[in-house]
């Protein structure tokens, strides 16, 4: 599996607290089926993003954690004016593996009416927007139509693995399920911050999608889409989402093979 969102590097945000914890987190991810892990430190009002520092921590973590998992650089990019300006100056700097996909975090307190306009500016210089954990945003939970509009305009949605397991509460779980039912989820990622409360594991959520939706959808959300994002390739969405197609066919459709 490919995990596009994690806070595994030490001392640069509210994620890992030490290089020892970092190494354990990376090994935990590897031991539970993650083969590519994106380290995506915050860039927000509290934490500045220093790409060179992130690269040097990544190099150290690679050496210490050993083989079996590939580590790449990303960023948990908060929507704010300074960030937009900086990203317009260096379009690939904040994106996953510097290939164009940008993890975009919105405030929990307000949704700027010009959000779409700001995103368009980023898209015009080659970035593709992946909105992180809409199911955990209380304002977005009241604005399903906004999520639908954004997806229709070509933005992608990333749900947190633990939300599916109910660990961010019933409201987040229910909204995640609603988004999945409507085919509005493109990625599942761990958004790991530590070893216990928010661990870098995707395996249980993968299994949850297999059981509640389909193994094919799990492959897309945990493997194919995130792998394409790491490569910088377009997502192949022509038959997406597979589970809704199956539901739409219904009993008679299945019986007659239509």
Cβ distance to Fe ion smaller for residue 75 or 122: 75
Cβ distance to Fe ion smaller for residue 43 or 220: 43
Listing DSSP states for the chain in one string gives -EE--B--STTSSSS-SSHHHHHHHHHHHHHTT-SEEEE--EESSS----HHHHHHHHHHHHHHH-SS-EEEE--EEE--HHHHHHHHHSTTTTSGGGSSEEEEE--SS---TTHHHHHHHHHHTT-EEEEE-GGG-HHHHT-HHHHHHHHHTT-EEEEEHHHHTTTT-HHHHHHHHHHHHTT---EEE--B-SSSSS-S--HHHHHHHHHHT-HHHHHIIIIIHHHHHHHTPPP--TT--HHHHHHHHHHHHHHHT-
Instruction: For the CB of residue 189, give the shortest distance to Fe ion in the complex, in Å.
Output: 8
Instruction: For the CB of residue 22, give the shortest distance to Fe ion in the complex, in Å.
Output: 15
Instruction: For the CB of residue 214, give the shortest distance to Fe ion in the complex, in Å.
Output: 27
Instruction: For the CB of residue 139, give the shortest distance to Fe ion in the complex, in Å.
Output: 17
Cβ distance to Fe ion smaller for residue 135 or 191: 191
Q: Which residues bind Fe ion (CB under 5 A)?
A: 76, 191
Cβ distance to Fe ion smaller for residue 3 or 76: 76
């Amino acid at each position: 599996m490919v995990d596009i969102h994690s806070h595994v590097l030490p001392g640069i945000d509210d994620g890992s607290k030490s290089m020892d914890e970092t190494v354990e987190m990376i090994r935990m991810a590897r031991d539970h089926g993650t083969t590519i892990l994106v380290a995506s430190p915050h860039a927000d009002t509290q934490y500045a993003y220093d790409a060179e520092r992130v690269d040097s921590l990544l190099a150290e973590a690679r050496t210490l954690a050993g083989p079996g998992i590939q580590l790449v650089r990303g960023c948990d990019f908060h929507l704010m004016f300074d960030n937009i300006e900086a990203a317009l100056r260096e379009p690939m700097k904040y994106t996953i593996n510097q290939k164009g996909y940008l993890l975009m975090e919105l405030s929990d307190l307000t949704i700027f009416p010009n959000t779409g306009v700001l995103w368009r500016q980023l898209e015009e210089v080659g970035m593709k927007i992946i909105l992180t954990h809409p199911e955990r945003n209380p304002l977005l939970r009241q604005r399903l139509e906004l999520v639908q509009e954004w997806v229709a305009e070509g933005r992608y949605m990333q749900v947190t693995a633990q939300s599916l397991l109910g660990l961010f509460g019933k409201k987040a779980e229910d909204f995640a399920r609603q988004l999945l039912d409507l085919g509005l989820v493109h990625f599942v990622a761990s958004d790991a911050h530590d070893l216990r409360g928010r661990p870098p594991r995707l395996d249980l959520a993968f299994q949850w999608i297999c059981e509640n939706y389909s193994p094919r959808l799990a492959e897309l959300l945990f493997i194919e889409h995130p792998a394409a994002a790491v490569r910088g390739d377009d997502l192949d969405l022509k038959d997406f989402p597979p589970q809704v197609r199956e539901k739409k066919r219904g009993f008679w459709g299945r019986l007659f093979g239509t």
